[in-house]
Amino acid sequence: MSLTARVLLVAALVSPFAVAAQDQLPPVMPTAEDPRLIEVASLDRIANGVTTSPDGRMFVSHPQVEGPGAQVSEIRDGQLVPYPNLEISQWKPDENPTGTFMKVNSLRVGPEGDLWVVDAGARGVGYQATPGAAKLVRIDLGTNTVRRVYVAPPDAVREYSYFNDMRFSPDGNRVYITDAAGLDPAIVVLDIETGAMRRVLENHPLTIARFKMYGDGRQLVLRDPIPAWWGGMTTDKMVNVDQLEVSPDGRWLYFHPIGGPLARIETRLVDDPSTPADTLYNSVEKLIDTWTAAGTAIDAAGNIYMSQVNTRSVMRIAPDMTLTTLASDPRLAWIDAMWIDSEGFLYMPAAQLDKTSANFAGGPAQIRYPMKIWKMQIGQGPPAIDHR
């Protein structure tokens, strides 16, 4: 899509300098600790995502804010162990980009029990993608070896692609991937059997981030300018389509650029390669206005849990879009990719990504170690179609 078309597509909706309606400024910050929070891990390295296996193993992803190192770890006896090994987990720019992780952005144990890892394929949101680096890596937890690497073909990525997060189709045959590309964001659909990928909803207005991002009342500002959808460059941190969830009955695919709004489309339309692009475009439903969110999860009852990083809170969005506060606690600093286990615990990594040097316009980082992962009982397990 041309720059002119892209501007016309979104300009009618909102100014690029708007503030998300739910990001209250200044925010009311929590002061009391919630006794329901249980500490899961205390780490000396930032982790932005957490997932568990049916037999109780725990894995985390590292966004490399402290510098190069393992990007996936298993937590064993409280210690971080590179997974499946450091050879794969650490980026080697001079080697084949399909053989090591470049920029792990998310991970999760799938319905079949394998660990799936999303490699963004670029060094950050808004940066040019490295050819051959964007991929999904499927790891057999029984043998601790890579089962398959799904490399994105050239026609499934764009110049500024950044593969972000993933969820599984209702029948388990496909993976939905958000491409938070700085320009031309989309949802990518992977056929697990063939490895084919195709882009849908590219540049739909509800895939494009239109709001500044805030954490603890402070706007996130980048050191290096990135392309802006309205033209030119910007140092405003903005992340296009990021979070996504599938309803427990498999009917709906929810998706969300940071700042919102939350939207949905029927999975049957996305799953069918013959669905016309205009049908897909016109079938998207806007649900509710949201806020600066870093992570989501969905339970078996269809409640969506969405972090509200500006107020150190986690919100619950019921299937009828009723909104309540699940938890608000000063320890919930930038809750990122969440996870629900079979016992009904919601895992919440307090990643503090708003305090990194990159989001402080290159200034000194304000991270406070150790980094914590918390959990709390929510009374619901995960959807059966997502994981056990």
Calculate the alpha carbon distances from 168 to 109, 144, 177, 276 in Å.
11, 21, 9, 22
Q: Is residue 323 part of a domain?
A: yes
3-state SS class at 287:
strand
The DSSP output letter for 254 is E
Count of alpha carbons within 13 Å of 51, Cβ hemisphere only?
28
Domain presence at residue 388: no
The reply to whether 387 falls in a domain is no
How do the residues of the chain divide into helix, strand and coil, expressed in percent and rounded to 5?
A: 10, 35, 55
Amino acid letter, residue 70: A
pLDDT value, residue 34: 98
- 386 is a domain residue: no
| pLDDT score of 20 | 44
SS3 of 177-199: the string is: EEECCCCCCEEEEEECCCCCEEE
Specify the 3-state DSSP secondary structure of 255: strand
In a domain, 304, yes or no: yes
Give the domain extent around 335. Answer: 3-377
Positions of the chain with pLDDT lower than 70, given as ranges: 1-21
Please report the pLDDT score of residue 93 as a whole number. 87
pLDDT value, residue 94: 82
Number of domains in the chain: 1
What CATH number is given to the structural domain containing 363?
2.120.10.30
Say if 83 falls within a structural domain.
yes
- The CA-to-CA distance between both ends of the chain, in Å, stands at 40
Residue 5, classed as helix, strand or coil, is helix
Residue 384 domain-assigned (yes or no): no
Query: 39: which strand partners?
Result: 374
- Nearest CA among 326, 168, 171, 137 for reference residue 245: 168
Residue 271 tokens read as 């799953």
34 and 231 Cβ atoms separated by less than 8 Å: no
* CA separation for the pair 276, 187 (Å, rounded): 15
pLDDT of residue 57: 98
CB neighbours (10 Å) of residue 147? 15
Cβ-contact 111, 91 below 8 angstroms: no
